[in-house]
Structure 1
Amino acid sequence: MPLTTLSPADARRMIDAGARLVDIRGADEHARERIPGALNLPLDRIDGLPRDGRIVVFHCRSGMRTTANAARLEAAASDAPAFLLDGGIDAWRGAGLATIADRSQPLEIMRQVQIAAGALVVTGVVLGLFVTPAFLALSAFVGAGLVFAGATGWCGMAQLLRAMPWNRGAAA
């Protein structure tokens, strides 16, 4: 049976009545903005969900990750009723409900990867057009890296960006 989605207002009422709110996003996303009182259990650690019979409401950023992983989330909350926050933290914020934002935290690693990859591709194309076509290899290299990351689940650029000074001390 698929998990039921809740509007932000309905989720707020359930949380106020004792339900546990679980944020399945990565620690870096949670550190940058979170719903007060949410327990951060990224998907790769969801099996660590306390099994105490409490109702569980899962959320992510937009609702896509929770919907895509609903069966796994339902299994993690096996001893308790579980729900999905429809629209995630974006809908929660859109409904005028409180979040805690810490803009001093770096952007999420995957957003940094998108920015860096996009900048490298554009740079390779521009230099390839105006300097020498050999620079087009930069765009090809980045594209190949993205294909590899998508196929294997391992992203070298993300690993490199995690080691950058602005990400040191950020949420792991």
Structure 2
Amino acid sequence: MRFSTDLTITKYNYIVIMLYVGGTKMSESVQVAELKEALEKGDCQLLDVREYAEFATAHIRGARLIPLRELRGRVVELDRNRPLYVICRTGRRARQAREILRACGFGDVRLVEGGMLAWQERGFAIESEARAPWSLERQVRFAAGALVLVGALASLLIARPFIWLAIFVGAGLVFAAVTDTCGMALLLARMPWNRARENPSCRGLERSGDE
């Protein structure tokens, strides 16, 4: 009887260990070089969770664009039976996407460390759309600068309280830097010019960069 109990515990421990190891393997993080190798073999799918403006400016060939804010409603577009690599600009949004995908039942989800910044730093090939909008970062700089300028000029020419517009924008930029989130970028991402009229993952794209 004692032997049977010990055997049961041993089996239980083995199952727990295998589940832990398997779960770790299927939710691992990978470097961009590993992603490049997997794409060359053609045995995976790549999900880009950035916004359209970012994707249109520079993305990896074959990537499917589903912005993070739309992911929960579009997981049906992804294949649960193939390894799924998730990428964004730096990795922060990709981590959030990985948690969403796990909650939706996806097993083999791999985070690409460093995101597109790391991919481009390595000099790997990228593609871009012929009529890509400005990057969100550039749009934020333009919008913030314009609002500060308007607030400053209006405070001099119309009424002094307009200076609060410039102060508000400045405070917002400081908050964005501290929290690594930008409300203005999220707002701009929803503008008509930053929305793809069709799925950019499925149409012809202009290539740039070296193979």
**Same fold by TM-score greater than 0.5:** yes
> In the TM superposition, what are the counterparts of 1:40-119 in structure 2 within 5 Å?
40-46=65-71, 47-76=75-104, 78-102=105-129, 104-109=131-136, 111-119=138-146
> In the TM superposition, what are the counterparts of 1:106-145 in structure 2 within 5 Å?
106-109=133-136, 111-125=138-152, 128=155, 133-139=160-166
Which shifted more, 26-35 or 46-55? 46-55
Q: Identify unmatched segments of 5+ residues in structure 1.
A: none
- Between Structure 1 and Structure 2, how many residues are aligned? 161
- CA distance 1:141–1:64, change in 2 (3 Å): closer
Offset at residue 79 of structure 1 (A): 4.1
| CA RMSD across the alignment | 3.5
Would you tell me which structure has more helix in proportion to its own residues? 2
Higher-Rg structure is: 2
Query: Counterparts of 1:68 and 1:126 in 2: how far apart (Å)?
Result: 41
Query: Counterparts of 1:154 and 1:11 in 2: how far apart (Å)?
Result: 28
Q: Which residue of 1 aligns with 2:38?
A: 14
TM-score (structure 1 length as normaliser): 0.72
| Maintained 8 Å contact 1:5/1:84 | yes
